[in-house]
Amino acid sequence: MIELPSKVEGKHFDLYKLEQKLKPMGYTVGGNWEYDHGYFDYEIDDKVGYQFVRLPFKSIDGQLDARNCTVELGRPFILSHKYQRGLDDHAETGTFSGTLNQFSEPVDSDASIPDEFIDRGKGIVDRLEAILIT
């Protein structure tokens, strides 16, 4: 993980309006969200694992699935996951678990990040700032 200091840190946005700005840029809401915090992810590359710029946010007035939720943005960072090829060696078997847990576990959930992705991540955050801070 490499943190990317940004002018968006600490800024407050209506979550719905924020999504409307970020999704056309290529951001998606990451799968690891809770009712009080979450992440927007921008995929940089997926050739050898996955590299993302991740933008954390937390609710400051209500739950994320509620209307008119305001969120505060955290410090963006680059995240890299390397996955093994094929099926998971440790997949659980059974009536339901084998069908649900067959995908590969990360070989390295905090893999090293090549300089080219760091440079691209900085550019992505620069564009983010240009869109959000007017």
**Regarding predicted confidence, which is higher, 18 or 103?**
18
Task: Note the pLDDT tens digit of each residue in 54-110.
Answer: 999 999 998 888 888 999 999 999 988 666 555 545 555 555 444 444 444 544 445
**What burial class does residue 112 get, using C-beta atoms within 10 Å of its C-beta: 0-12 exposed, 13-18 middle, 19+ buried?**
exposed
Question: Cβ(44)–Cβ(117) under 8 Å?
Answer: yes
CATH class of the domain whose range is 2-132: alpha beta
pLDDT, mean of residues 111-131: 90
In this model, does residue 23 exceed pLDDT 90?
A: yes
- For the chain, what are the domain ranges? 2-132
What pLDDT, on a 0 to 100 scale, did the predictor assign at position 9? 98
- Say how far apart CA 73 and CA 30 lie, in whole Å: 14
pTM above 0.85, yes or no: no
What pLDDT, on a 0 to 100 scale, did the predictor assign at position 113? 82
Residue 46 CB coordination number (10 Å): 11
Question: Cβ(61)–Cβ(35) under 8 Å?
Answer: no
In this model, does residue 132 exceed pLDDT 50?
A: yes
Task: Note the pLDDT tens digit of each residue in 34-51.
Answer: 889 999 999 998 776 788
